[in-house]
């Protein structure tokens, strides 16, 4: 095995291992010997961001189908084998990645690696299972449509990216999902599920020599052509509106601004800003609109960071009669923030929240696995915990206000779903 093995002591005294298989598959691990469990995930560099309009929804559909039988296991056997050891098996599709992951007791690590490799490499896409699962995915699309909070975020993506691939819903349009064939899924999977575009990350209690042998045994036979991956360049649009009238009790509103790409230095200053504005219970928007005015149950802000690009959003679920007032209050709070900045206490508390949240996340093998897998897939290297903490500590008030003026002075996009939404159409 042509491997690269490194041991590095992280900020929390974990040991990190890295291997590269001859087929190009990258494997990264963080050893946590005080645990009895291990989390393992296979990260494929494919999501709705990589889909053409004609392919929209295929990444997500395939993520469902890898559970529906392989050349070695039936759909029932996949479920029974994992349940028999009390393990957890799941997957998700994002804009820029797909992940199939498991969590098991350390003594069952071989089974978890075997099942994940089998699903990723050997899924058969059986016609009967495909037709059944198509119904499941269509129900998921309907559920998303019936959830105005989920729907309004899809509408915001459409407003901010238009016909670009980041404007597409991860689930895809129902009419296309209803028409996809087995050949469509297999062709797409064979094009994108490649060892050179996959990272396997694991965190927990394991023996490096055993993992190295297991990766070679179960993933070493995976063959794939040269990657044809192209990550489309995207541009965040401004000032656009997308609305959808629905018979709901609430009006759901999202404002969208440009943000910063995954892995860039500015994401830490944005995270500090986010906690001050709407990322915590003590944040300005939460306190003003929910606690003081009583006009919303749910209001929050959030950064989205993708490969090469990012966005910043504000969400509120409110009574239709309060729509204009809430938008005015949000605008007023943002202008006040840009004009007056933060208090020293807000700045200190926000950084402490970030640092504490990050350190508490390190207590979860699943959180470690996810951070390591996505960072390696998109940035080419795993997250360095010590550097992340240092980057949070290094944020200054001036850095926060600099990114605030870059983000919040743009004309926002507006997405509205629910009763009275048509009032906000362009």
> Which DSSP string corresponds to 153-218?
HHHHHHHHHTTSGGGS-SS--HHHHHH--HHHHHHHHHHH--GGGEEEEEEES--HHHHHHHHHHH
* Gap between the terminal Cα atoms of the chain: 59
Which tokens hold the place of 414? Answer: 């507006």
226 occurs within a structural domain: no
Q: Residues 212, 299: one domain?
A: no
Q: Which domain holds residue 180?
A: 8-219
> Which DSSP string corresponds to 332-350?
HHHHHHHHH---HHHHHHH
Would you say 334 and 272 are in contact if contact means Cβ atoms under 8 Å apart? no
pLDDT of residue 231: 85
pLDDT of residue 14: 72
Q: Residues 184, 278: one domain?
A: no
pLDDT of residue 12: 52
pLDDT of residue 277: 98
**Last residue in a domain, options 158, 187, 219:** 219
195 occurs within a structural domain: yes
Q: Give dist(CA 210, CA 207) in Å, integer.
A: 5
Q: What is the pLDDT of residues 259-288, one digit of tens each?
A: 999 999 999 999 999 999 999 999 999 999
146 occurs within a structural domain: yes
Q: Give dist(CA 364, CA 353) in Å, integer.
A: 17
Q: Residues 285, 414: one domain?
A: yes
13 occurs within a structural domain: yes
Q: How far is CA 118 from the centre of its chain?
A: 24
Q: Residues 194, 128: one domain?
A: yes
Q: Residues 34, 182: one domain?
A: yes
Q: Residues 358, 253: one domain?
A: yes
**Last residue in a domain, options 219, 253, 275:** 219
pLDDT of residue 11: 42
pLDDT of residue 226: 74
**C-alpha atoms less than 13 angstroms from C-alpha of 81 in its C-beta half-sphere:** 21
263 occurs within a structural domain: yes
Which tokens hold the place of 195? Answer: 């060892």
pLDDT of residue 228: 72
CATH number for the domain including 168? Answer: 3.30.830.10
225 occurs within a structural domain: no
**Last residue in a domain, options 185, 219, 253:** 219
pLDDT of residue 2: 38
Q: Residues 209, 245: one domain?
A: no
Q: What is the pLDDT of residues 209-236, one digit of tens each?
A: 999 999 999 999 999 877 778 888 999 9
| Residues belonging to the chain | 426
Question: What residues of the chain score a pLDDT lower than 50?
Answer: 1-11
224 occurs within a structural domain: no
Residues identified as active-site? 63
Q: Residues 378, 334: one domain?
A: yes
Burial letters for 172-206: b for 16+ Cβ neighbours within 10 Å, e otherwise?
beeebbeebeeebbeebbebbbbbbbbbbbbbbbb
235 occurs within a structural domain: no
Q: How many domains does the chain have?
A: 2
Which tokens hold the place of 122? Answer: 């050997």
Q: Residues 419, 334: one domain?
A: yes
Q: Give dist(CA 283, CA 301) in Å, integer.
A: 10
Q: Residues 156, 13: one domain?
A: yes
pTM: 0.93
Q: Residues 257, 157: one domain?
A: no
Q: Residues 194, 342: one domain?
A: no
């Amino acid at each position: 095995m042509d491997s690269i093995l490194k041991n590095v002591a992280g900020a929390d005294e974990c040991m990190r291992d890295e291997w590269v298989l001859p087929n190009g598959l990258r494997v990264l691990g963080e050893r946590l010997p005080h645990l009895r469990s291990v989390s393992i995930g296979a990260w494929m560099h494919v999501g709705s961001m990589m889909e053409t309009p004609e392919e929209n929804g295929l990444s997500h559909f395939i993520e469902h189908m890898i559970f529906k039988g392989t050349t070695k296991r039936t759909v029932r056997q996949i479920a029974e084998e994992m349940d028999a050891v009390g393990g957890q098996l799941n997957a998700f599709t994002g804009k820029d990645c797909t992940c199939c992951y498991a969590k098991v007791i350390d003594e069952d690590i071989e089974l978890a690696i075997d099942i994940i490799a089998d699903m990723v490499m050997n899924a058969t896409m059986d016609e009967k299972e495909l037709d059944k699962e198509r119904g499941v995915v269509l129900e998921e699309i309907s559920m998303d449509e019936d959830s105005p909070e989920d729907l309004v975020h899809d509408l915001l993506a459409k407003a901010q990216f238009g016909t670009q691939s980041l404007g597409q819903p991860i689930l895809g349009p129902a009419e296309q999902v209803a028409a996809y064939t087995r050949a469509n899924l297999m062709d797409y999977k064979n094009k994108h599920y490649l060892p050179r575009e996959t990272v396997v990350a694991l965190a927990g209690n394991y023996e490096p020599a055993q993992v190295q042998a297991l990766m070679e045994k179960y993933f070493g036979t995976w063959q794939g052509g040269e990657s044809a991956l192209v990550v489309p360049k995207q541009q965040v649009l401004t000032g656009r509106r997308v609305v959808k009238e629905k018979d709901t009790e609430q009006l759901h509103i999202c404002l969208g601004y440009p943000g910063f790409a995954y892995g860039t230095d500015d994401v830490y200053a944005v995270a500090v800003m986010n906690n001050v504005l709407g990322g915590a219970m003590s944040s300005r928007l939460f306190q003003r609109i929910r606690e003081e005015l009583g006009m919303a149950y749910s209001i929050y802000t959030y950064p989205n960071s993708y490969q090469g690009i990012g966005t910043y959003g504000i969400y509120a679920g409110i009574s239709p009669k309060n729509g204009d007032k809430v938008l005015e209050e949000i605008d007023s709070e943002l202008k006040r923030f840009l004009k007056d900045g933060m208090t020293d206490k807000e700045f200190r508390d926000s950084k402490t929240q970030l640092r504490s949240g990050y350190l508490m996340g390190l207590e979860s093998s699943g959180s470690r696995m996810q951070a390591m897998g996505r960072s390696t897939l998109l940035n080419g290297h795993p997250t360095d915990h010590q550097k992340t903490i240092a980057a949070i500590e290094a944020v200054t008030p001036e850095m926060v206000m600099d990114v605030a003026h870059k983000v919040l002075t743009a004309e926002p996009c507006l997405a509205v779903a629910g009763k009275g939404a048509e009032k906000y159409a362009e």
